[in-house]
Amino acid sequence: MSLAAKARRAPLRAVTGAFIVNSGVGKLSADDDTAKALHGMASGTYGFLGKVDPKLFVKGLAVGEIALGGALLLPVVSPVVAGLGLTAFSAGLLNMYWQTDGMHEDGDPRPTQAGLPIAKDVWMLGIGAGLVVDGVLSPAHDKHVAVSASVHEKLNRRQRRKARKAAKKSAAGAIATVREQQAELGKRASKAAKKAQRSASSSSSSDARKKARKASEDAAKRLGEVRDAAAPVVAAKAKQATAQARSTAADLKTQYGPVVADKAQQARSTASDLYDQYAPVVADKAKQARSTAADLYDGYAPVVADKAKQARDTAAEWYDDASTAAEKRAKKARKQTRKQVKKAKKAVA
């Protein structure tokens, strides 16, 4: 039984129980005239009580009222049991009220002045019935509350699981980004090494450089000729296109300017509302993302730096090897050239 249900029933049980206990304690010291009056009233409705001694009847009634009042006052007693006892007791009093002449109008439940003290006991019938109904329906209400709490707990657990999954996904994305950066650094290092090797190998070929220089000069000369020939045509086309664009822009401004201004105002209002609504959330998410990125950077930056250093060292080694090979080839080519020159001089001589 929940604490709320006990607190809800406490005023009814306390007031009714104290009233009935006080009535029972008062009947314990009742004199003979009071005992005979009570016995006569009860035996007039319930004939079997006529055989009971008036003093004994009053004592038994007092003990019953004290027991019923105590059951109402003690919270350990079930509200259904206490309500049934109070309902039965008040029903007996109201039956005696209805069966006794002079307590109510003929054929009318409204009490007379003589029956008013007993007719007031109808409130005990209502309280007893209310306790019974509340006691019967309270377990179902408590069950409903427990089920609702369980459902909310499951929803909260589900939301926590989703949050953990989102955090793991974000961390995995950051790790993948770092790995992509590592791969990109490796590719750049490889390209640098290949470029160094190509430049080293090309240094031994002066004829190729001369041809490339000549081709570049020819291309520049042709480009200049084409530019000189096409410049007036391009300028005229550009001027015509500019004039046409300005005319079209003026027409569009005249036709759609008010509509665009209205739409822009609506868009600014909507953007302002969305900013006011979601800016705190976005700021919080951005703060979390920055914190996560900083943690990942602190964790993986040394690794990336080490990999980049290794790539640079490897490229430098490849460059040194390529330079050495190029120098050897150049020396060999110079030797062969000198030999051929000597042979040519001998042949001339």
Domain membership of residue 62 (yes or no) is yes
Domain membership of residue 332 (yes or no) is no
Q: What digits encode the pLDDT tens for the residues 312-346?
A: 888 778 777 777 877 888 788 888 878 877 887 77
DSSP 48: G
Q: What digits encode the pLDDT tens for the residues 279-314?
A: 676 577 758 767 775 776 677 667 767 876 887 888
Domain membership of residue 244 (yes or no) is no
* Residue 193 near residue 313, CB atoms below 8 Å: no
* Residue 52 near residue 40, CB atoms below 8 Å: no
Q: What digits encode the pLDDT tens for the residues 164-180?
A: 888 778 777 778 887 78
Number of Cβ atoms within 10 Å of the Cβ of 128: 25
Domain membership of residue 126 (yes or no) is yes
Distance between the two ends of the chain, CA-based, in angstroms? 130
Q: What is the distance of C-alpha 108 from the center of its chain?
A: 64
Number of domains in the chain: 1
Whole-number Å distance between alpha carbons of 33 and 49? 17
The confidence band for 226, taking pLDDT boundaries of 50, 70 and 90, is low
- Looking at every residue in the chain, the average pLDDT score rounds to 75
* Residue 29 near residue 59, CB atoms below 8 Å: no
Whole-number Å distance between alpha carbons of 4 and 146? 14
Task: Give the residue-averaged pLDDT of 33-37.
Answer: 86
Whole-number Å distance between alpha carbons of 101 and 174? 94
* Residue 185 near residue 308, CB atoms below 8 Å: yes
DSSP 51: G
Domain membership of residue 94 (yes or no) is yes
The confidence band for 272, taking pLDDT boundaries of 50, 70 and 90, is low
Whole-number Å distance between alpha carbons of 120 and 35? 21
Task: Give the residue-averaged pLDDT of 147-162.
Answer: 75
Domain membership of residue 290 (yes or no) is no
Range of 59's domain? 3-138
pLDDT value at residue 84 = 92
Domain membership of residue 88 (yes or no) is yes
Tell me the whole-structure pTM to 2 decimals. Answer: 0.39
* Residue 185 near residue 307, CB atoms below 8 Å: yes
Structure tokens at 50: 């006529």
Give the residues across from 104 on adjacent strands: 111
Domain membership of residue 235 (yes or no) is no
Whole-number Å distance between alpha carbons of 152 and 158? 10
* Residue 70 near residue 21, CB atoms below 8 Å: yes
